[in-house]
Amino acid sequence: MTAALLEVRNLRVEFPTRHATLVALDDVSFEIAPGEILGVVGESGAGKSLTGAAIIGLLDPPGRVASGEIRFDGKRIDNLPYEAMRKIRGRHIGAIFQDPLTSLNPLYTVGRQLVETIQTHLNVSADEARRRAIKLLQETGIPAAEQRIDQYPHQFSGGMRQRVVIALALAAEPKLIVADEPTTALDVSIQAQIISLLKRLCKDHGAAVMLVTHDMGVIAETCDRVAVMYAGRIAEIGPVHDVIHSPAHPYTVGLMGSIPAMDEDRERLLQIDGAMPRLTAIPSGCAFHPRCPKAFARCHVERPNLMPAQATQAACWLHSVDMKAAA
């Protein structure tokens, strides 16, 4: 295996508050290889967006990286000063956010925003930057790009805006793109267009993607590997096919079972009772144990780390060496 493009080791993100320090991400480790698409999936509050924000250095204060490290291309980026991180963000790591309306400046034309991004990061003339901007818009499938480049974001529809945002993220030819729920605000027919566009462009440009979403369908269509997050930790990580077809963690099993399927009829959906714990009250041991149908004594007291389980890695005591020996 080639050296990882992005390496996250034991990442811990904390939010100090007046009453207590909330641990939003705890001991999160994963890697992304060059050109790979890693999906990060989970329910609201699992910490998936926070992981993306920590990587691009955009944690909202008072949130901070408390321990662990993030390495990009072999160099640590989690402790860089603000200005140094700014040079990496956009140039080497691009970002796509959920709402295309708020991630574009409504007062500037689309062209001006693209040209500004290109000129900030690449040493090219204004004419060359404009040529590149038009080419990017054409690549993202915007018709009549030469005219539309001088229009304002409000003159674009939601799907077209998200195409512009993708063009912006790719403008400086970054090696990694962090895409946080890029299709959630879009209609299904547009969602399919944007997903296939993102997939094709990243392949053409050789960019790796960290795709954060709550939609398992999008993950299945797009990703090479997937990390399932629960209560600030990775519950399971592995090749997307294995995680979907033979999930090892009881949470992944429940998550998959609760999605209404298009090709089978079930009277009732499998349901996981209860809800994701709040940050103020993360259960002891395995955070999933109060909702887990298979929890046993050890789960209540001892926190599992990722361990090999079937074809994936799961943080679950069911897959510990002792359990396998007993079975």
Kindly state whether residue 273 participates in binding other proteins, applying the rule CB under 8 A: yes
Kindly state whether residue 193 participates in binding other proteins, applying the rule CB under 8 A: yes
- Among residues 39, 37, 48, the alpha carbon closest in space to that of 13 is found at 48
Kindly state whether residue 157 participates in binding other proteins, applying the rule CB under 8 A: yes
- Which one, 45 or 90, has the nearer CB to other proteins? 45
Determine the Cα–Cα distance for residues 216 and 211; give it in Å rounded to an integer. 11
Contact 90, 120 (CB under 8 A): yes
Kindly state whether residue 83 participates in binding other proteins, applying the rule CB under 8 A: no
Q: Residue 321 is which amino acid? A: V
- Which one, 5 or 240, has the nearer CB to other proteins? 240
Q: How far is the CB of 272 from other proteins (least distance, A)?
A: 4
Backbone angles phi, psi at 98, to 5 degrees: -65, -50
User: What are the tokens at 201?
Assistant: 């462009």
What one-character-per-residue DSSP string does 185-250 give? TS-HHHHHHHHHHHHHHHHHHT-EEEEEES-HHHHHHH-SEEEEEETTEEEEEEEHHHHHHS--SH
Determine the Cα–Cα distance for residues 127 and 155; give it in Å rounded to an integer. 24
- Segment near other proteins (CB under 8 A); pick from 48-56, 170-178, 261-269, 309-317: 261-269
Kindly state whether residue 216 participates in binding other proteins, applying the rule CB under 8 A: yes
Backbone angles phi, psi at 120, to 5 degrees: -65, -40
Kindly state whether residue 262 participates in binding other proteins, applying the rule CB under 8 A: yes
Among 146, 150, 187, 204, interactor with other proteins by CB under 8 A: 187
Q: Residue 256 is which amino acid? A: M
Among 3, 84, 144, 261, interactor with other proteins by CB under 8 A: 261
Determine the Cα–Cα distance for residues 70 and 76; give it in Å rounded to an integer. 6
Among 3, 259, 301, 323, interactor with other proteins by CB under 8 A: 259
Kindly state whether residue 267 participates in binding other proteins, applying the rule CB under 8 A: yes
Q: How far is the CB of 261 from other proteins (least distance, A)?
A: 7
Among 65, 124, 244, 282, interactor with other proteins by CB under 8 A: 244
Q: How many chain residues are in contact with other proteins, going by CB under 8 A?
A: 43
Kindly state whether residue 255 participates in binding other proteins, applying the rule CB under 8 A: yes
Among 60, 266, 281, 321, interactor with other proteins by CB under 8 A: 266
Q: How far is the CB of 260 from other proteins (least distance, A)?
A: 4
Q: How far is the CB of 81 from other proteins (least distance, A)?
A: 37
User: What are the tokens at 57?
Assistant: 């250095």
Among 215, 248, 292, 299, interactor with other proteins by CB under 8 A: 215
Cis before residue 62, ω within 30 degrees of 0?
yes
Give how far Cα 56 sits from Cα of 79, 146, 148, 199, 203, Å.
12, 31, 30, 20, 21
Kindly state whether residue 241 participates in binding other proteins, applying the rule CB under 8 A: yes
List the 6-16 sheet strands across, edge first: 21-32, 6-16, 64-72, 75-76
Kindly state whether residue 226 participates in binding other proteins, applying the rule CB under 8 A: no
Residues 17-46 binding other proteins (CB under 8 A) are: 43-44
Among 127, 189, 321, 327, interactor with other proteins by CB under 8 A: 189
Query: Site residues (CB under 8 A) for other proteins?
Result: 43-44, 157, 159-160, 187-193, 195-196, 214-218, 220-221, 241, 244-245, 254-255, 257-263, 266-273, 275-276
